[in-house]
Structure 1
Amino acid sequence: MKTAVSTVETKTWSLIYADFKEITKARLAISVVFSSIAGYFLGAIEINYISILLLSFGGYCMVGASNAFNQIIEKDLDALMDRTKNRPIPAGRITVNKAIVIAVVLTVIGIVSLYLLSPKTAMFGAISIFLYTSVYTPLKTITPLAVFVGAFPGAIPFMLGWVAATNDFGIEPGTLFMIQFFWQFPHFWALAWMLDEDYKKGGFKMLPTGKKDKGTALQIIMYTIWMLLISVVPAFGFTGRLHLSIPAAIVVFAMGLVMLVFAFKLYEKRDNKSARKLMLASVSYITLMQIVYVIDKFLQ
């Protein structure tokens, strides 16, 4: 009897944990934390592991809170789309009130954790939540410009790590911000291309022209080029302490060219398969680019 009760309790906690990961979008949150840690390593003169722990924990909480608020606001629209109808709120596994408690608690814990690093770090974290939930989320059903607005909170994590390490905002974290800002357009539009039919069920306007056409594909190419150029700017000595060696810049540029090739393939074929390849290439690019930046710093 005790074994049966124990098994039920284990399954219950397993389901709660699964729903918590879903409502906080754990995979996305972990990728954001990775970007923040990369930014921290680039900015830090001495590595403080307590600071890394606070940045990781606070960063996850802030991203998790943003995603929880987003799912509360969009619960009715999520129920209309195949991709999101099984999320905890529209599926009825978590009530709106419980989701609000989760979001608020994560916000408070996240801001406090980041404040312990520095007030500026907490400020940028709070700005990120506000823009994502109060501006980007409502705009998604109104205008494709929502993606432009959403790129601001989305670009904060990489620079947030630098600010956490230095308690300073200047050309260095500004450059990290710009790299991730321009990267988001080809990444997200490739994803939106794949999910366009499903997004339309929820009334979301995510593609820049509203269609899977040459106009959208051309804008993807343009933003990929901007991302590529800004990614190698630190090699030319214009970005303060943020420096990239020539060999590392060549590697970053080559990776960006691969992504650009996939962008041109999407322009040529304009199909979901090409969009998926570009989306996967963009994920690989942002991760590997950050790793190259960090390794290059410690090799110099």
Structure 2
Amino acid sequence: MSLFVTQSQSITQSVVRNFIEITKFRLSVSVVFSSVAGYLLGADSIDFYILFLLCVGGYCMVGASNVYNQIIERDLDALMDRTKNRPLPAGQMSVQSAFILAAILTVVGIVVLYSINPITAMFGAISIFMYVSLYTPLKTRTPLSVFVGAFPGAIPFMLGWVAATGKFGIEPGTLFMIQFFWQFPHFWAIGWFLFEDYKKGGFFMLPNGKRDKGTAIQVILYTVWTVLVSLIPVLGITGKLFLTPISGILIGLLGIGLIYYAIRLYKEKTSKAAKQLMLASVSYITLLQIIYVADKFLR
């Protein structure tokens, strides 16, 4: 009896571990965090049931995208140190099981987001389509894949606002642009310090295809644009999305920090500098979203 219980626990732990791995739990949670921030910014009053649906639907959509991605790239994942222990290349999950999971997550995600409002479901579906059908196959063909991938990657922050209001306008458009530009320094930093590993899988992630001065200059440019777009709400030209001068100063200081790490990458051109920029970019977008939400509720 105890052996049966032990085996059951082991199987359960394995299933949970595979689910966490193949849906990229930490990444999916960070995406859901962006959606929640967008919802809090757009909502006149917080409906916790809608917020719950957004979290469930959002996780399902991101999780589905990640599963489809890993099905398509399973042979390439086996070549890279970073990804060779994922459930599919490691043989811990079959392609059929992964596809069934992805299909279930897609259907549940779209249905749940549709129950919030149809436009939220539409953007969720567009996100999956662009990530799986455009971004994933382009990763092995052209550095422009990062540009294409920035579109589905920028949807979550905006999606929360659309879920709260049922409308798309200048406010969610601004949120979209912030996360759109932010992804370039973020992913190029990752592409820089994982350059050799990506090379094994045949992925082209850097704009010039090289860890050189030209790539570093583009990183700086997109970092500056990210900061400038983040400050637009201070000007009072983005409808209901408004930021007080104090919060603008805080965002500006965060931006200076981000630009510092981008310039440091340009000067040093090392994997260490790229990793520091990646961590700085994650801190930047997380703290930005917290400041935006706090600004709305504290003013």
Which band: TM-score by shorter chain?
A: over 0.9
Alpha-carbon distance in 2 for matches of 1:256, 1:57: 32
Alpha-carbon distance in 2 for matches of 1:196, 1:273: 12
SS at match of 1:141: coil
Specify the alignment match of 1:100 in structure 2.
Answer: 99
Report the alpha carbon displacement of residue 18 of structure 1 after superposing the two structures with TM: 0.5
Alpha-carbon distance in 2 for matches of 1:7, 1:288: 43
Unaligned stretches of 5+ residues in structure 2? none
Report the alpha carbon displacement of residue 60 of structure 1 after superposing the two structures with TM: 0.2
Specify the alignment match of 2:133 in structure 1.
Answer: 134
- Does 1:182 pair with 2:181? yes
Alpha-carbon distance in 2 for matches of 1:37, 1:267: 34
Q: Deviations over 1:115-162 (max 9, x none)?
A: 000000000000000000000000001000000000000000000000
Report the alpha carbon displacement of residue 255 of structure 1 after superposing the two structures with TM: 0.3
Specify the alignment match of 2:254 in structure 1.
Answer: 255
Specify the alignment match of 1:165 in structure 2.
Answer: 164
Specify the alignment match of 1:65 in structure 2.
Answer: 64
Alpha-carbon distance in 1 for matches of 2:284, 2:8: 42
SS at match of 1:84: coil
- Does 1:195 pair with 2:194? yes
Specify the alignment match of 2:110 in structure 1.
Answer: 111
Query: Structure 1 residues 229-238 or 6-15, which shifts more?
Result: 6-15
Report the alpha carbon displacement of residue 4 of structure 1 after superposing the two structures with TM: 2.3
Alpha-carbon distance in 2 for matches of 1:116, 1:252: 34
Runs of 4+ in structure 1 deviating by more than 6 angstroms, as ranges, are: none
Unaligned stretches of 5+ residues in structure 1? none
Report the alpha carbon displacement of residue 7 of structure 1 after superposing the two structures with TM: 1.6
SS at match of 1:175: helix
Alpha-carbon distance in 1 for matches of 2:60, 2:102: 9
Percent identity, please: 63
Specify the alignment match of 1:14 in structure 2.
Answer: 13
Alpha-carbon distance in 1 for matches of 2:195, 2:122: 34
CA RMSD of aligned residues (A): 0.5
Q: Deviations over 1:253-273 (max 9, x none)?
A: 100110100000000000000
- Equivalent AA in structure 2 for residue 84 of structure 1: T
Following superposition of structure 1 onto structure 2, how do residues 218-229 of structure 1 map, counting pairs within 5 Å? Answer: 218-229=217-228
Alpha-carbon distance in 1 for matches of 2:213, 2:15: 44
Alpha-carbon distance in 2 for matches of 1:3, 1:261: 58
Alpha-carbon distance in 1 for matches of 2:137, 2:232: 35
Alpha-carbon distance in 2 for matches of 1:198, 1:68: 21
Report the alpha carbon displacement of residue 9 of structure 1 after superposing the two structures with TM: 1.1
Alpha-carbon distance in 1 for matches of 2:8, 2:217: 53
- Equivalent AA in structure 2 for residue 34 of structure 1: F
Report the alpha carbon displacement of residue 12 of structure 1 after superposing the two structures with TM: 1.3
Specify the alignment match of 2:46 in structure 1.
Answer: 47
Q: Deviations over 1:162-213 (max 9, x none)?
A: 0000000000000000000000000110011010100010110110000000
Specify the alignment match of 2:119 in structure 1.
Answer: 120
SS at match of 1:47: coil
- Equivalent AA in structure 1 for residue 240 of structure 2: R
Alpha-carbon distance in 2 for matches of 1:187, 1:14: 33
